[in-house]
Chain A
Amino acid sequence: MQILDPTDERRPIERRLAARPARLSGTVALLDISKPRGDVLIDRLAERLRERLPDVELRRYRKPAFSRPAPEDLRREVLRDCGFVIEALAD
């Protein structure tokens, strides 16, 4: 859908980000979007996170195809089980 800006257009249009907690805790989703070598990057991220934040639980997820949005079930699962998502891709 396209809408027209009701303002004086001084501010850029942006999606509002969710509030950022001060520290990482609980469960973190590591989402591989299925681009080649994305898993390499995520493996490395997981390794570093385990070193620095041993109390944080890491869960791995994978989108079936990088070119399509994550399936509804996957998004629900991540939302239900995790407080954070790190989405990583590589090429």
Chain B
Amino acid sequence: MARLPPFELADQSGQQRAFPTGRPALLCFLKEECPTCVLSAPLVRAATEAFGGAVDVWAISQDEDGAQLARSFGLAGPLLADSALRVSYRYGLETVPTVILADGTGEELRRVGGFDRAAWRELFGELARLAGAPEPSFDWDAYPAARPGCGSRSVEPGIAERLAAEAEGSPLRARRIEVGARDDPFEFLFDQSVTDGLPVVPPTPERVLRMLAGTRRDPQSVVAVVPPSMGVATVEKVAINAVMAGCRPEYLPVVIAALEAVCTERFNVHGVLATTHFVGPVLIVNGPIRDRIGMNYRENALGQGNRANATIGRALQLVVRNVGGGRPGEIDRAVLGTPGKLGFCFAEHEARSRWEPLHVERGFRPEDSTVTAFAGCAPTPIVDQFSRSAASLATSYGLSLMAAGHPRQVGYGEVVVVVPPEHVDTIARDGWTKQQLREAIQAATARPARELARDEHCAVGLTPAEVERLGPGTPVPKFRAAEAIHLVVAGGEAGKFAAWIDNWAGGAGSAMTTVKIEE
């Protein structure tokens, strides 16, 4: 017989019990929902009472609530908690009850799995010899000759893999899936409904381990609980989806921060996902990480072609899909959606801006790296190649932004305006601050209330009562406040084209949310 690995477990009073103890020990592994354990419990109790003076008789519970087990089994001696199942796993348990007799050094003398009357009788004989105590009288005939045990919790599917990974020191705990030798892994992943419609990189353990090297966070720490299914996204789960999206390890901290940002009440990713509206998360990255991971904020900043831009937003959406259960046509009820729901992520061209970057405006330090999540739609162009003053540009922006949601919709919430370098230069020549520009845009959107009224041509607009209350000639601006207009600089050097990004249904359901990226 082999020497059993030492262990330390807490008993029902919280006292740590270390094995081996120097005395002979009877270790009885039990779980509550096991009729054979119930059958064996009186024998454990009898062993405690008869031999407890010289032998450590320990019941070891696989249940979360060991106290309940002690009550229902009427146990008298120490009851140790192995709900983490580490000892059960290391001791190679396949069934419960399993009763192991060991000597004072931890050498295994005898092991009984399930219920076996003859084996228990022999065990009692040996215990009596070891304890120098008489065998208790026992109505052995009241017991059946044998009963099979139940499966040890340590060999249940899912748990066994986790325990194996723990034992080999692997940080990975996710369920492992074998792809058949004849299966195409890409097709297999489509079949599992875990892609966004594009192929994903198969998340092999090796790739996920490499991805995890991108963060210092514990792989099992929880990043967020992800709606709509309230799935628990550990760092490992985020890393798996980041692999699938095509991320490099150094992007992982951005994906983690983005997930934290959207899984807040403020951002409300549940609503963003479930709505019939177009929206998806739009991510704007600021700070030094932009250059460290090679993000694009220059030509084609909102377009294709840059790995970080393309995969960070995609990874976030894959987590929402796979961990959160947010699948189109199910909880995602978008009537049309938007191409950005595959992933929409870009960075601000901070060096080319004459203003504070977005994250500094929002209370972070310039040297912080942040991700800002905005529930947004597709970018809409503002084509203005003629303006040579800040005021003229502001008017162009305002006229264009009137179309947000609907040209007659007012009291509007947040929008993002992406200002290209050529427009930055035009505005800078007049020395305008961001706030001046915002207020001028807001002013340019204002129309007399009567022009915003619903009429015989179109049912959308202010009601007659609203027009009356405001005063028919009173100018009514588009936005509830100029501050709702967020100005972000990005784009190539040549081209006087700006873009605005509309919000979700007027902006009441979600608010722009910025989170610092932990590197």
Contact residues of A with B, CB < 8 Å? 1-10, 13, 15-16, 69
Q: A9-B174, A16-B191 are in contact. Are A2 and B205 (CB under 8 A)?
A: yes
Question: How many pairs of residues, A versus B, come closer than 8 Å at their CB atoms?
Answer: 71
B482 at the interface (CB under 8 A from A): no
Q: Quick check: A8 and B204 within 8 Å, CB to CB?
A: no
Task: Tell me the smallest distance from the CB of A8 to a CB of chain B, in Å.
Answer: 3
B240-A4 in contact (CB<8A): yes
Q: Contact partner of A4 among B185, B208, B231, CB < 8 A?
A: B208
State whether B174 touches A2 (Cβ < 8 A). Answer: no
A52 to B185, CA, bound (A): 40
What's the least CB distance linking B280 to chain A, in Å?
19
Assuming the contacts A1-B179, A1-B202, A1-B204, asked whether A6 and B191 have C-beta atoms less than 8 A apart, the reply is no
Docked complex Cα distance between A16 and B188 (Å): 9
For B189, list chain A residues within 8 Å (CB): 3
Q: Which of B4-12, B117-125, B318-326, B490-498 contacts A (4 or more CB under 8 A)?
A: B318-326
Contact (Cβ within 8 A) A8 B229: yes
Chain A residues near B202 (CB, 8 Å)? Answer: 1, 3
Bound CA span A15–B208, Å: 23
Output the least CB separation between A46 and chain B (Å). 28
Cβ–Cβ contact B174 & A4, under 8 A: yes
Closest Cβ of chain A to B171, distance in Å, is 11
CA distance A44 to B189 in the complex (A): 39
Given contacts A1-B202, A2-B204, A3-B185, contact A8 B191 (CB under 8 A): no
11 residue pairs of the A-B complex, CB under 8 angstroms, read: A1-B185, A2-B204, A3-B177, A4-B208, A5-B176, A6-B174, A6-B194, A7-B231, A7-B325, A8-B229, A13-B175
B109 on interface, CB distance cutoff 8 Å: no
Query: Would you call B179 and A4 a contact (CB within 8 A)?
Result: no
Known: A1-B185, A13-B192, A15-B191. A6 touches B179 (CB 8 A): no
CB neighbours of A7 from chain B (8 A): 194, 231, 322-323, 325
Residues on A with beta carbons closer than 8 Å to the beta carbon of B194: 6-7
Are the CB atoms of B192 and A4 closer together than 8 Å? no
Inter-subunit contact B231/A5 (CB<8 Å): no
Q: Return the CB mask of B237-264 against A: 1 if under 8 Å, else 0.
A: 1001100100000000000000000000
CB pair A5 B323 closer than 8 Å: no
Q: Which residue of A lies closest to B242 (CB)?
A: A6
| Distance of B208 from chain A, by nearest CB (Å) | 5
CA distance A4 to B176 in the complex (A): 5
Cβ 8 A contact of B325, one of A1, A8, A13, A16: A8
- Say whether A13 contacts B231, CB under 8 Å: no
Question: A4, A8, A9, A15: which contacts B172 (Cβ < 8 A)?
Answer: A4
Q: Which of B305-331 contact A (CB under 8 A)?
A: 318, 322-325
What are the residues of chain A within 8 A of B457 when measuring CB–CB?
none
Residue of A nearest to B225 (CB): A8
Q: Which residues of B contact A10 (CB under 8 A)?
A: 229, 231, 325
For residue B237, which residue of chain A has the nearest CB? Answer: A6
Q: Do B175 and A8 have beta carbons less than 8 Å apart?
A: no
Residues of chain B with a CB closer than 8 A to A16's CB: 191
Residues of the A chain whose Cβ atoms lie less than 8 Å from the Cβ of B204: 1-4
In Å, the complex CA distance between A8 and B224 comes to 12
Distance of A25 from chain B, by nearest CB (Å): 26
Q: Contacts A5-B175, A7-B194, A8-B229 known; list 18 others, CB within 8 Å.
A: A2-B179, A3-B179, A3-B189, A3-B203, A4-B208, A5-B177, A5-B240, A6-B203, A6-B244, A6-B322, A6-B323, A8-B232, A8-B322, A9-B175, A10-B229, A10-B231, A15-B191, A16-B191
User: B182 at interface (Cβ–Cβ under 8 A)?
Assistant: yes
**B229 to chain A: which residues have CB within 8 Å?**
8, 10
- Which residues on the A side are within 8 Å of B168 (C-beta)? none
A6 contact set on B, CB distance < 8 A: 174, 194, 203, 237, 240-241, 244, 318, 322-323
Report which of A3, A8, A69 forms a contact with B323, defined as CB distance below 8 A.
A8
Distance in angstroms between the alpha carbons of A69 and B181 in the assembled complex: 11
Inter-chain CA distance A37–B57, complex, in Å, is 56
Contacts of A5 in B (CB 8 A): 174-177, 240
Q: Are A13 and B177 in contact (CB under 8 A)?
A: yes
